[in-house]
């Protein structure tokens, strides 16, 4: 998919694109200011589900990024929306820090909802979820990312636990965050922009670029965050461009 001649909106992944842990990626703060000056509407999409949105936004602001809470679409919020829409009463296996944001587990659950519980992914918690799945409950997961980058290296993400539960239970998970097409499309609907007129910038070939591509949105891949050499040569997922970092992606967009 080519870049739109005149992009009308930009979707931006957060971790690995704008920052790693609590460090802004060099040049990213200034590049975001430049992009804002161009007047394009922006939405920030994140599969991070270990923190509530207010903390994600305040961390970004502390790093110097001018981002408002309503511009950030999280997999937690999208999951809460889906649960309400369907009237579900889930059992939640999530990080305690998002318990207030997502809601609390029901005593007689009709679904299992998984977030990135991190160190709270205990064997006992996983076995409880497994047994509910074996009783026929559906599995809804906020994300299924393989790993993310922390300061000290690549780190296991919740996708390992999703794949593990799927394997043992035989139940296939429904993903709410990236790479699910509705996650990208609902952000664009809010802005009234068609997929072919939008661009996504991400560091995750499969969940960012591949997910956007499947939703009809062109993706630019950055060589920061979880990017690994070889990602740009995938047989089916084809970023419109692979650039060094967010600043280079913004230059590319504004040059047009």
Return the number of other C-beta atoms located less than 10 Å from residue 229's C-beta: 7
Distance CA 223, CA 208 (A): 13
Cα dihedral angle (16, 20, 25, 29), rounded to 10 degrees? 90
Nearest distance from C-beta of residue 82 to a copy of itself, angstroms: 23
From the list 34, 103, 147, 181, which residue makes contact with a copy of itself (rule: CB under 8 A)? 147
Which H or E run contains 53? Answer: helix 53-62
Q: Does an H or E element contain 190, and which?
A: helix 181-191
Label the pairing between strands 90-93 and 111-114: parallel
Taking CB under 8 A as the criterion, the residue among 123, 136, 172, 230 binding a copy of itself is: 123
Give the DSSP H or E segment for 243. strand 241-243
Q: Residue 162's beta-bridge partner residues?
A: none
Which of 104, 127, 189, 196 lies at the binding interface for a copy of itself (CB under 8 A)? 127
Closer by beta carbon to a copy of itself, 100 or else 119: 119
Nearer to a copy of itself, 60 or 117 (CB): 117
Question: Which residues, in sequence order, are CB contacts of 135 under 8 Å at separation 6+?
Answer: none
Residue 156 or 191: the one with the smaller Cβ distance to a copy of itself is 156
Binding marks (x or -) toward a copy of itself, 164..193, rule CB under 8 A?
A: xxxxxxx-----------------------
Closest separation in Å from C-beta 150 to a copy of itself: 10
Does residue number 104 form part of the binding site for a copy of itself (CB under 8 A)?
Answer: no
| Shortest reach from residue 60's CB to a copy of itself, in Å | 25
Residues in touch with a copy of itself (CB under 8 A): 117-124, 126-127, 130-131, 134, 146-147, 153-157, 159-170
């Amino acid at each position: 998919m080519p870049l739109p001649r005149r992009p009308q909106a930009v979707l931006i992944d957060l971790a690995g694109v704008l920052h790693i842990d609590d460090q802004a990626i060099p040049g990213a703060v200034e590049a975001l200011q430049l992009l804002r000056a161009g007047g394009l509407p922006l939405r920030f999409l994140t599969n991070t589900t270990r923190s509530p949105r207010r903390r994600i936004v305040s961390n970004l602001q502390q790093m110097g990024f001018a981002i408002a809470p309503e511009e950030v679409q999280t997999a937690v919020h999208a999951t809460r929306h889906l649960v309400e829409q369907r009237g579900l009463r889930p059992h939640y296996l999530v990080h305690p820090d998002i318990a207030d944001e997502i809601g609390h587990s029901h005593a007689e659950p009709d679904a299992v909802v998984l977030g990135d519980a991190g160190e709270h992914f205990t064997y006992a918690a996983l076995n409880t979820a497994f047994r509910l799945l074996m009783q026929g409950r559906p599995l809804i997961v906020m994300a299924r990312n393989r790993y993310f980058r922390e300061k000290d290296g690549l780190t296991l993400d919740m996708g390992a636990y999703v794949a593990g539960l799927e394997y043992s239970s035989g139940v296939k998970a429904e993903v709410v965050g990236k790479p699910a097409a509705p996650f990208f499309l609902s952000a664009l609907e809010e802005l009234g922009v068609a997929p072919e007129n939008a661009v996504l910038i991400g560091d995750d070939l499969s969940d960012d670029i591949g997910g956007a591509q499947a939703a009809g949105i062109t993706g630019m891949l950055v060589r920061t965050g979880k990017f690994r050499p070889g990602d740009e040569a995938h047989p089916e997922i084809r970023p419109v461009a692979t650039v060094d970092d967010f600043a280079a992606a913004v230059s590319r967009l504004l040059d047009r």
